[in-house]
Amino acid sequence: MRRILIVDDEETNQRLLKAILEAKGYETLQAYDGAEGMQFAKESQPDLILMDIQIPEIDGIAAFKILQSDPLTMNIPVIALTSYAMGGDREKFLSIGFRDYIAKPISINEFLVLVDSYCS
């Protein structure tokens, strides 16, 4: 079973993503801030990380950069999950090194197609 780490400080987002992913057969882990997300990533080695950008402790971009510099986590694909939906934001996150970008609110079908592309 593929394991996905959801790093998001909004409990409503966590519950929604967890329900969608688990209904599709994925195992999920939840972290509510960047520090906890990095710890879970190192300990559990998920197949994919969904990383919100505006999270407490360590923001999503800083947490991503730390994960990318660690040999234990550098090969885990990380998708930016954010309410930033301005022109050029997708390109910005991809240029930083995120594998992909999902704008909130999500389209469930598009979200699952994207997740499946990384976890199949």
Q: What is the pTM of this model?
A: 0.95
Distance CA 35, CA 57 (A): 6
For the chain, what percent of residues have pLDDT higher than 70? 98
Other CB atoms closer than 10 Å to residue 57's CB: what's the count?
15
Q: Are 82 and 52 in contact (CB under 8 A)?
A: yes
Q: Could you tell me the residue ranges of all domains in the chain?
A: 3-119
Within 13 Å of residue 45, how many CA atoms lie on the same side as its CB? 4
pLDDT digits (tens, 9 = 90+) for 31-58: 999 999 999 999 999 999 999 999 999 9
pLDDT digits (tens, 9 = 90+) for 71-110: 999 999 999 998 866 777 888 999 999 999 999 889 999 9
CATH architecture of 3-119: 3-Layer(aba) Sandwich (3.40)
